[in-house]
Amino acid sequence: MASTEDLALDLEELKQLHTIAKRPRVVSLISSQIRNLEELTKEAASAPAPHTPAPVSAVSTATPISSAPKAASNPLLTYATLGSFSWDQDNDKLKIYVSLEGVDQEKIEADFKPMSFDIKFHDVQGKNYRYAVPKLNKEIVPEKCKVLVKPKRVVVTLVKASKGNWLDLHFKEDKLKPSLDKEKDPMAGIMDLMKNMYEEGDEEMKRTIAKAWSDARSGKTADPLKGYP
Across the chain, mean pLDDT equals 76
User: What local confidence, expressed as pLDDT, does residue 84 receive?
Assistant: 77
Q: What is the mean predicted confidence (pLDDT) over 170-176?
A: 72
Q: What is the mean predicted confidence (pLDDT) over 32-46?
A: 77
- Residue 162, pLDDT above cutoff 80: yes
- Residue 190, pLDDT above cutoff 90: no
User: What local confidence, expressed as pLDDT, does residue 115 receive?
Assistant: 96
- Residue 56, pLDDT above cutoff 60: no
Across 51-55, 75-79, 108-112, least confident range: 51-55
More confident residue, 9 or 118: 118
More confident residue, 97 or 210: 97
More confident residue, 127 or 70: 127
User: What local confidence, expressed as pLDDT, does residue 222 receive?
Assistant: 47
How far apart are alpha carbons 200 and 183 in whole angstroms?
A: 28
Would the CA dihedral through 42, 7, 172, 87 be positive or negative?
A: negative
pLDDT band, residue 59 (cuts 50/70/90): very low
pLDDT band, residue 62 (cuts 50/70/90): very low
More confident residue, 67 or 161: 161
User: What local confidence, expressed as pLDDT, does residue 60 receive?
Assistant: 37
How far apart are alpha carbons 171 and 140 in whole angstroms?
A: 13
More confident residue, 45 or 134: 134
Would the CA dihedral through 27, 28, 33, 37 be positive or negative?
A: positive
More confident residue, 139 or 37: 139
pLDDT tens for each residue of 82-92: 877 899 999 99
- Decide: 43 and 4 in contact? Cβ < 8 Å: no
User: What local confidence, expressed as pLDDT, does residue 120 receive?
Assistant: 95
- % of the chain exceeding 90 in pLDDT: 38
- Decide: 118 and 71 in contact? Cβ < 8 Å: no
Q: What is the mean predicted confidence (pLDDT) over 70-75?
A: 52
**Burial category of 67 from C-beta neighbours within 10 Å (exposed 0-12, middle 13-18, buried 19 and up):** exposed
